[in-house]
Chains A and B, each alone.
Chain A
């Protein structure tokens, strides 16, 4: 569905300097700076996938998404999405995509979201029957009821974000680009939005999710592409991502007797809360989990144990620091 090959984008920027003198000088002489935002990335996305597109600030992910949505023209490379080259056939192409930007609203502040939906109906040429059905279905799914008839400014952030989703999906896009869709939302609103995304994904919509919220990624994405310094540093399934730091588990143990796990191969003590309470990270390629538990039980008699997989945050931090 999406084929991206050797995509590059360079920007020309001008150095301005920070001091008053440099700023004054920049009015007459400006030093050109070429920024390579995207350095020849390639990837494919199949229909119905829900892909997390991650990267630190300035990594090139927004530039890539803007090229994929037809907003920007690349410097070189090819993009084929549903048979379209986004920047060449923008109008036809964007009829098939939707986008939700957590920090850029498509709603109109002083009038109800429903009126903004009507404007979108005219923009996307949606027949009345389809429009009504789409609005009613999504209003019900997102539990909005009559809120769509209240002025946008009177809605909470969560309610507004739900309306942004309706706005982006009224025309039944085959691909939806999500940029920080849950930013600033409370746990309940986040949950509702995530359920909605998963439901729409089940119905066949392809999602590309750009976010810094790793909980979104963990709960939604089946595949993750990580971009850093304009290059792809990881592209694989969520499970593979979790194995990226090696097969590691975090084990929290509370025991009856004193626990001593210093200087043992494959075991790193992360927190020693007391003589009887410890948190360790075990490398499963060195130590077998069942043997480890058995040994500790024999030595200190386990009273409570909790085993957790690798933390996504650590993995992402490692990828970002490359």
Chain B
């Protein structure tokens, strides 16, 4: 037997959650690479599209305008972090949104429910989106460019950054859970994704450019400022004390997302026979 055979590993780690996920990624990559030209082109386009935000920033600063309290390289750093957060979440787990919407619409969500694994894990395993790796490459390139132009940061700043970046990913996962759950309730509603993208776009700019009341919403209710603004501030050593509340809000957001998702799955009615 040949094909995507798992390597002969000692132990049974490949039947673990991570092992299953890696097998899912390999399967998705093999599926996508069946059309090589389209695969490479899509990844390239995804990467180019991601550059639009930083390019706008450069145009703004090039014309003498600025975001208050942030110089151009700092904003590019923030946007690089934002793209990196998207670059990790979109290919690796955000695909559950359209995977769920599509499967519920065609009735193949049932096929995931007859597998002896968590439905959330099955939704993630079957949703790896290789095209979005372009986002990851784009994020790394913008971040690298910004870091080169900024002074070196001490280790403590980097540690704070990594912790906050982890919360950025947690927040994205919370978003994914809400969107996927809504995809089960509102069958075939792809607008959910567009609403999510619009809300998320607020995270691409420094928190300080918004009004005080809107900053509160972006910190305590839907803590979008954790996506990039806070991790960037942490790396630059200028994070404010409200970050603790934003972290708590992101944990609450994730827990609510999990409750919502599993409650909706429990009430799933499936498509007609």
Q: Chain A's nearest CB lies how many Å from the CB of B9? A: 10
Is B118 in contact with A111, judged by CB distance below 8 angstroms? no
Using CB atoms, name the residue of chain A closest to B30.
A111
Is A106 part of the binding interface, using a Cβ–Cβ cutoff of 8 Å? yes
Q: Given the complex of chains A and B, what is the CA–CA distance between A66 and B14 in angstroms?
A: 30
Q: Chain B's nearest CB lies how many Å from the CB of A65? A: 8
Is B114 in contact with A119, judged by CB distance below 8 angstroms? no
Provided the pairs A11-B269, A73-B266 are in contact, do residues A106 and B111 lie with their beta carbons within 8 angstroms? Answer: yes
Is B1 in contact with A91, judged by CB distance below 8 angstroms? no
Is B144 part of the binding interface, using a Cβ–Cβ cutoff of 8 Å? no
Is A94 in contact with B118, judged by CB distance below 8 angstroms? no
Provided the pairs A110-B31, A115-B3 are in contact, do residues A91 and B110 lie with their beta carbons within 8 angstroms? Answer: no
Is A273 part of the binding interface, using a Cβ–Cβ cutoff of 8 Å? no
Is A151 in contact with B114, judged by CB distance below 8 angstroms? no
Most buried by A among B5, B20, B273: B273
Chain B residues whose CB sits within 8 angstroms of the CB of A119 once the complex forms: 4, 23-24, 27
Is A72 in contact with B117, judged by CB distance below 8 angstroms? no
Is B113 in contact with A122, judged by CB distance below 8 angstroms? no
Is A256 part of the binding interface, using a Cβ–Cβ cutoff of 8 Å? no
Residue interface mask B22-51, A partner, CB < 8 A = 1: 011001001110110000000000000000
Is B270 part of the binding interface, using a Cβ–Cβ cutoff of 8 Å? yes
Using CB atoms, name the residue of chain A closest to B103.
A104
Q: Given the complex of chains A and B, what is the CA–CA distance between A284 and B34 in angstroms?
A: 63
Chain A residues whose CB sits within 8 angstroms of the CB of B110 once the complex forms: 66, 69, 71, 101, 104
Provided the pairs A101-B111, A111-B30 are in contact, do residues A118 and B2 lie with their beta carbons within 8 angstroms? Answer: no
Chain A residues whose CB sits within 8 angstroms of the CB of B23 once the complex forms: 118-119, 122
Find A91's partner among B6, B111, B117 (CB 8 Å cutoff): B117
Residue interface mask A34-66, B partner, CB < 8 A = 1: 000000000000000000000001100111011
Is B151 part of the binding interface, using a Cβ–Cβ cutoff of 8 Å? no
Q: Given the complex of chains A and B, what is the CA–CA distance between A63 and B5 in angstroms?
A: 36
Question: Which B128-165 residues have a C-beta within 8 angstroms of A?
Answer: none
Q: Chain B's nearest CB lies how many Å from the CB of A70? A: 7
Provided the pairs A110-B31, A115-B30, A125-B12 are in contact, do residues A70 and B4 lie with their beta carbons within 8 angstroms? Answer: no
Q: Chain A's nearest CB lies how many Å from the CB of B106? A: 8
Provided the pairs A62-B273, A179-B273 are in contact, do residues A118 and B111 lie with their beta carbons within 8 angstroms? Answer: no
Compute the total of residue contacts between A and B using a CB distance below 8 Å.
Answer: 103
Is A115 in contact with B34, judged by CB distance below 8 angstroms? no
Residue interface mask A91-132, B partner, CB < 8 A = 1: 110110101010010101111101110110111110010001
Provided the pairs A101-B111, A122-B6, A122-B20 are in contact, do residues A114 and B273 lie with their beta carbons within 8 angstroms? Answer: no
Q: Chain B's nearest CB lies how many Å from the CB of A316? A: 17
Is B116 in contact with A91, judged by CB distance below 8 angstroms? yes
Provided the pairs A108-B27, A115-B3, A115-B27 are in contact, do residues A99 and B34 lie with their beta carbons within 8 angstroms? Answer: no
Is A111 in contact with B14, judged by CB distance below 8 angstroms? no
Chain B residues whose CB sits within 8 angstroms of the CB of A315 once the complex forms: none
Chain A residues whose CB sits within 8 angstroms of the CB of B2 once the complex forms: 114, 149
Is A95 in contact with B273, judged by CB distance below 8 angstroms? no
Provided the pairs A122-B19, A122-B20, A149-B3 are in contact, do residues A110 and B34 lie with their beta carbons within 8 angstroms? Answer: yes
Is A296 part of the binding interface, using a Cβ–Cβ cutoff of 8 Å? no
Is B116 in contact with A61, judged by CB distance below 8 angstroms? no
Is B238 part of the binding interface, using a Cβ–Cβ cutoff of 8 Å? no
Q: Given the complex of chains A and B, what is the CA–CA distance between A121 and B1 in angstroms?
A: 13
Is B3 in contact with A108, judged by CB distance below 8 angstroms? no
Using CB atoms, name the residue of chain B closest to A151.
B34
Is B113 in contact with A90, judged by CB distance below 8 angstroms? yes
Provided the pairs A110-B31, A111-B27 are in contact, do residues A70 and B113 lie with their beta carbons within 8 angstroms? Answer: yes
Q: Given the complex of chains A and B, what is the CA–CA distance between A110 and B38 in angstroms?
A: 14
Is A135 part of the binding interface, using a Cβ–Cβ cutoff of 8 Å? yes
Is B117 in contact with A108, judged by CB distance below 8 angstroms? no
Is B24 in contact with A72, judged by CB distance below 8 angstroms? no
Is A124 in contact with B116, judged by CB distance below 8 angstroms? yes
Q: Given the complex of chains A and B, what is the CA–CA distance between A125 and B116 in angstroms?
A: 10
Q: Given the complex of chains A and B, what is the CA–CA distance between A104 and B32 in angstroms?
A: 20
Give me 25 A-to-B residue pairs in the complex whose CB atoms sit less than 8 angstroms apart, sorted by A's number: A69-B113, A71-B114, A72-B268, A73-B267, A91-B116, A94-B114, A99-B114, A104-B107, A104-B111, A111-B27, A111-B34, A116-B27, A118-B3, A118-B4, A118-B5, A118-B6, A119-B4, A122-B14, A123-B20, A123-B115, A123-B116, A128-B8, A149-B2, A149-B3, A151-B34
- CB-based closest 8 A-B pairs: A62-B273, A110-B34, A95-B116, A125-B15, A122-B23, A115-B4, A114-B3, A115-B3
